[in-house]
Chain A
Amino acid sequence: MSIINLKTKEVENIDANKSPLGIKFHGIYNKIIVSNWYDDTITIIDQEKKDKKTIKVGKSPAGIDIHPKTGQIVVANRDSNTVTIIEDLNKKIINTIKVQKSPFGVFFSSDGKKIYVSNVQSNSISVIDFKLRKIIKNFKVKEWPYQVSIFPENNELFVSNQRDDSISILNLQTYQLKNEISNVCGYPEGLNINKKLNLIIIACWFDNEVVILNLRNKKVIKKIEVCEGPRSFGKFVID
């Protein structure tokens, strides 16, 4: 695992467990959380203390997110069709919730009340009520949903559908499909919004481009050519 210092551009390498895939910085605990795809574990790295801790989760852990207020960690276990909630990092207490087929991305709402899970093989998004630790809704999107991004002011949930070259927009109050942007680009994967700049930013694996849309009217502003095969399923746009 490599840590790049954005100011100095220096790279620090840390030994990871087998096949690190998802990565997230835990601001509350000041630790780095890594999901290990072939190892069915999560590694918690304390960079300052040079300490590493491992927690067993489900099969093929991928996406990770962290509760914005209380710090619980949620992990999508793609080949167990579950998500794991790590309730207490030190005591290693976990909760498992069954979702639909092949969960890959997991995302907390900004108030931490909901978790959204993208189920790649069942072409759906599961909504988990975090307090109840229970699914309250599954809704269909297009093929191979990958990343979810939320625009709470407009009650909008954006989903990138990799294999459909499209973006689904759902109404978070009614959980109905509100709009769909078809043919946005080839294999849209990473999708982030930037509220300050009013933008939706999408990484398009097939087309080697980043597509930028207007967050309000959903029109394409610009397509920027980038390196070969851009991918991401976490936060990749700096606020």
Chain B
Amino acid sequence: MIVRNLKFYACFLFIFFISFEIISHGPSRQKVVEKVVINAELTKVWEIVSNFSDFSWNPLVVSTDSNGNEIGSLRKIKSKNGSNISQSLEKLNEEKKMISWRIKETDQKLLPVNSYQATLILKDQGGKVEATYKAGFYRGFMGNDPPDELNDENSKKKVKEFISSALQNLKTILEK
């Protein structure tokens, strides 16, 4: 009963607060969540995604130049179109099968984002693996009236494409 009441008030009041945020607060933070189920062993999938030094499972990436696989390590990835992105490793949790990184610098043509953080979590699903890849970020242009290519819609679209293609390719590699 208590919990049901809380849910009612929570939903009700959150709408109230959100309405302020959306119209007022400069760019709104965006999120993208993509999932894929991979027919492979959990350890095999984890082995690939936990290796921060190698992001080749993302098909848009042609090379990864990294200084390690520890928290704080940096990697510079080069994409097919020649754009670069620098990322730092923020979390690596073997037990929870979770890895998280951040973008330090990005080419806006590839990923038009600010304050981007991505997390990948793996869950065992009875012999298969559910991989959830999520990212929180702001659009490419932080001021008001962004150009079309750096607005919320396009920034979100680019992140979605980036993440989806990586997950699909991960599935392809592991199910070969």
Q: What is the interface of chain A, defined by CB distance below 8 A to chain B?
A: 2, 4, 19-21, 23, 37-38, 163, 183, 186-187, 190, 197, 201, 203, 205-206, 210, 212, 222, 224, 226-227, 229-232, 234, 236-238
Taking chain A's interface residues, is the majority helix, strand, or loop, or is none over half, making it mixed? Answer: loop
6 contacts between A and B (CB under 8 A): A163-B136, A183-B96, A226-B10, A226-B11, A226-B14, A230-B14
Q: Is the CB of A231 within 8 A of B14?
A: yes
A212 and B17 contact, Cβ closer than 8 Å, known pairs A20-B24, A37-B26: no
Q: Roughly how many angstroms separate A95 CA and B74 CA in the complex, as a whole number?
A: 43
Q: Which residues of A contact B25 (CB under 8 A)?
A: 19, 21, 37
Q: Is the CB of A205 within 8 A of B11?
A: no
Q: Roughly how many angstroms separate A123 CA and B2 CA in the complex, as a whole number?
A: 34
B13, chain A: closest CB distance, angstroms: 5
A231 and B6 contact, Cβ closer than 8 Å, known pairs A37-B26, A187-B136: no
Q: Is the CB of A205 within 8 A of B10?
A: no
Given contacts A19-B23, A212-B3, A224-B10, 11 further A-B contacts (CB under 8 A): A19-B24, A37-B26, A38-B24, A163-B136, A186-B136, A206-B31, A210-B7, A226-B11, A227-B11, A229-B31, A231-B18
Q: Is the CB of A232 within 8 A of B3?
A: no
Q: What is the interface of chain B, defined by CB distance below 8 A to chain A?
A: 2-3, 6-7, 9-11, 13-21, 23-26, 29, 31, 93, 96, 98, 117, 119, 134, 136
Q: Is the CB of A227 within 8 A of B14?
A: yes
Closest to A187 in B: B136
A101, chain B: closest CB distance, angstroms: 14
Q: Is the CB of B15 within 8 A of A227?
A: yes
Q: Is the CB of A20 within 8 A of B20?
A: yes
Q: Is the CB of A210 within 8 A of B31?
A: no
Closest to A225 in B: B7
Interface centre among B14, B25, B29 (most CB of A within 10 A): B14
Closest to A227 in B: B11
Q: Roughly how many angstroms separate A212 CA and B96 CA in the complex, as a whole number?
A: 21
B135, chain A: closest CB distance, angstroms: 10
Q: Roughly how many angstroms separate A62 CA and B3 CA in the complex, as a whole number?
A: 30
Q: Which residues of A contact B93 (CB under 8 A)?
A: 183
B21, chain A: closest CB distance, angstroms: 6
Q: Is the CB of B24 within 8 A of A203?
A: no
Q: Is the CB of B6 within 8 A of A236?
A: no
A201 and B14 contact, Cβ closer than 8 Å, known pairs A163-B117, A206-B134, A231-B21: no
A53, chain B: closest CB distance, angstroms: 20
Q: Roughly how many angstroms separate A238 CA and B13 CA in the complex, as a whole number?
A: 10
Closest to B144 in A: A38
B26, chain A: closest CB distance, angstroms: 7
Q: Roughly how many angstroms separate A64 CA and B173 CA in the complex, as a whole number?
A: 52
Q: Is the CB of B3 within 8 A of A224?
A: yes
Q: Roughly how many angstroms separate A227 CA and B24 CA in the complex, as a whole number?
A: 20
B138, chain A: closest CB distance, angstroms: 12
Q: Is the CB of A224 within 8 A of B14?
A: no
Q: Which residues of A contact B134 (CB under 8 A)?
A: 186, 206
Sorted nearest first, the 5 A-B pairs with minimum C-beta distance are A19-B24, A230-B14, A232-B17, A236-B13, A210-B10
A159, chain B: closest CB distance, angstroms: 19
A236 and B117 contact, Cβ closer than 8 Å, known pairs A19-B23, A187-B136, A206-B136: no
Q: Roughly how many angstroms separate A201 CA and B14 CA in the complex, as a whole number?
A: 13
A79, chain B: closest CB distance, angstroms: 10
Q: Roughly how many angstroms separate A186 CA and B117 CA in the complex, as a whole number?
A: 11
B45, chain A: closest CB distance, angstroms: 20
B137, chain A: closest CB distance, angstroms: 11
Q: Is the CB of A205 within 8 A of B29?
A: yes
